[in-house]
Amino acid sequence: MKFKKTQTLQQISQLLSCEFVGKSSFSITGINEIHVVEKGDIVFVDHPKYYSKALNSAATTILINKEVACPEGKSLLISEDPFRDFNKITKHFNPFIASKESISESAIIGEGTIIQPNVFIGDNVSIGKNCVIHPNVTIYSNAIIGNNVTIHANTVLGADAFYYKNRPDAFDKLISGGSVILEDNVDLGASCTIDKGVTGNTTIGAGTKIDNQVHVGHDTVIGKKCLIASQTGIAGCVIIEDEVTIWGQVGTNSGITIGKGAVILGQTGVTKSVEGGKSYFGTPVSESRSKLKELAEIKRLVKEQKKI
């Protein structure tokens, strides 16, 4: 999430009421999660296990709960609770604003696009040309939709990320400040849910077709010309490369990559990253030929055991 105006280290420290390490005029241009940080970003870290990763990431300001040696060319914000203060930054620079109409006056809708009854379109949404948005679709603020996109009834674009910190008394929610991008020629079936990114975007690439009742988690990036069948659940921060086929009732772990041209057969649990150009099946996931041979061998052994 980029700020509309560059901030200084001192300005952010005042917002959070915390100490800082570095020049007071050090420039900060936004906040991001560790997997998408860029120069100028703040990243937060609140566990010693991840200190090194955060300090050595592309982020140039680290919101951290311990004063440590500051890497050259970077700055630190010393916080008692980085998770809480990261939320405070999101709320300040991207506050929730209640809508006053079903289709926002700030939304941009391209020529030839059809909006069916009972559609909700939030602030600053951009929809391209020749799209069809069917009844009861909900498009949260700041979503970007390309040309020739079809979205079927009851689909939701931009719900919050499922991201919580376990506190002693309750779960604390990480506030979502990102959005959703659908590129040209994407089709979404009925009752799909595409969550917004926490700080970046959840993106579905050009030409990808998604069946009914598919869930796509926060910050996931789906490539071009993919096919994803019904009741698939894709976790957050997944990368699905171009021309991947995913059949029905597949589930994935978060943070994995599915390589270009891979085929994931139905009811597979994709528990780890897999290479492109191969077919996969089962839980835990393995190449489909190997898995089917294993199942055949198990069946043979069971028959032999019964004979004994």
Q: Which helix (H) or strand (E) holds 83?
A: helix 82-93
Residue pair 213/233 in contact (Cβ under 8 Å)? The answer is no
Query: Which value, to the nearest 10 degrees, does the dihedral of the CA atoms of residues 273, 275, 276, 281 take?
Result: -70
161: nearest Cα among 115, 185, 193, 122: 193
238: nearest Cα among 215, 217, 224: 217
Dihedral-angle region of residue 22 (phi above 0 means left; psi in -120 to 50 means alpha; beta otherwise)? left
Q: Look up residue 175 and give its DSSP letter.
A: P
- Beta 239-240 vs 221-222: how paired, if at all? parallel
Write out the catalytic residue numbers: 218
